[in-house]
Amino acid sequence: MDKQVEPHEGHSQTDAGAFATTGSAAGDAKPSAPAAGDKGVAVRVLVMQLVGYLCMAGLWCACAESDGPSWILAVGACVFIAIFIAAYPFAVRTPSSAIARIMPALAGACGIAFSLVCDSDAAWMPWFVSMAAVLVLVAFLYELLRADRAHMIFSMSTTLFSGLLALCALGWSVAPAVHRLGAVMAANPAVGWATAVVMALVPVLLGVASVLWAVRMSPADYARIPTDGGRAADATRHVWIAWGLMPVMLYGAVVAIASWVLLVI
């Protein structure tokens, strides 16, 4: 009779691999995640990032004359949020991933509403802080109200990460303000060039980090709850999509901060 192993943080990669797969024979076992060191995953992650950046850059150029947050860019960010939810990489890390998928969806809806009713780029930062505070409160209350509080830390951390990632992605909605960069460079070269360098360097750093993360992930980084190998394999087959989108979504926060800097200079 097959037996599952309950993993915990002290388990080795071998233990996690045994936990994440089942089968009556070794030939029946299925991998729960792409093998560590898989260069094909790195290529797919980078291609996904490139496509994401090009899509948002195209929308940004289309909104060049926008004054205030752009609902078009907010919708584009929500498309990424929806894809991230569909390819959610932590489905076998917590007993339930429902709240970690619901929070980004709600954040996306609020982001579109914000971009439609607000005509000031400066209002984005207070909105982000307010939404982040609500996210922390809801995630904490959810964990307190759960009947079974097993894997509480993993559950809360993935919920907060998913929600904050969505909020960062919505920072793309204020990207039209970056068109002020040329004027700021002329008026204040130090600030203008510093902003340009940071905006150019961060995607490179995020890309390198995402590739290193992708190729070094092992089953121990996925499976934290008892599950069978088939479900684990299904849940992690498309994690490279999420890895590819995460840097693009996180870069939205850089866009928002740069827009705020250019606005106040």
Q: What is the pLDDT of residues 35-70, one digit of tens each?
A: 555 667 788 889 999 999 999 999 998 887 777 788
d(CA 115, CA 59): 15
76-93 per-position pLDDT tens digit: 999 999 999 988 887 766
pLDDT of amino acid 231: 55
Calculate mean pLDDT across residues 118-127.
81
pLDDT at 140 over 80: yes
Q: Does 223 or 180 have the greater pLDDT score?
A: 180
Answering whether pTM is above 0.85, one says no
d(CA 151, CA 176): 42
Taking the CB of residue 181, how many other CB atoms lie within 10 A of it?
A: 19
pLDDT of amino acid 19: 38
Task: Indicate the pLDDT class of residue 235, thresholds 50, 70 and 90.
Answer: low
Phi, psi of 49, rounded to the nearest 5 degrees: -60, -45
Calculate mean pLDDT across residues 100-120.
88
Ramachandran quadrant class, 5 (left: phi over 0; alpha: psi -120 to 50; beta: rest):
beta
d(CA 39, CA 35): 10
On whether the CB atoms of residues 160 and 167 are closer than 8 A, the answer is no
Q: Does 44 or 21 have the greater pLDDT score?
A: 44
Q: What is the DSSP string of 94-136?
A: SS--HHHHHHHHHHHHHHHHHHHH---GGGHHHHHHHHHHHHH
pLDDT at 222 over 50: yes
On whether the CB atoms of residues 177 and 121 are closer than 8 A, the answer is yes
| Residue whose C-alpha is closest to residue 254's, from 204, 208, 199 | 199
Amino acid letter, 30: K
Domains in the chain: boundaries: 34-264
Percent of the chain with pLDDT over 70: 74
Taking the CB of residue 40, how many other CB atoms lie within 10 A of it?
A: 12
Torsion of CA 119, 202, 179, 57, to 10 degrees: -90
d(CA 184, CA 195): 10
Output helix, strand, coil percentages for the chain, rounded to the nearest 5: 75, 0, 25
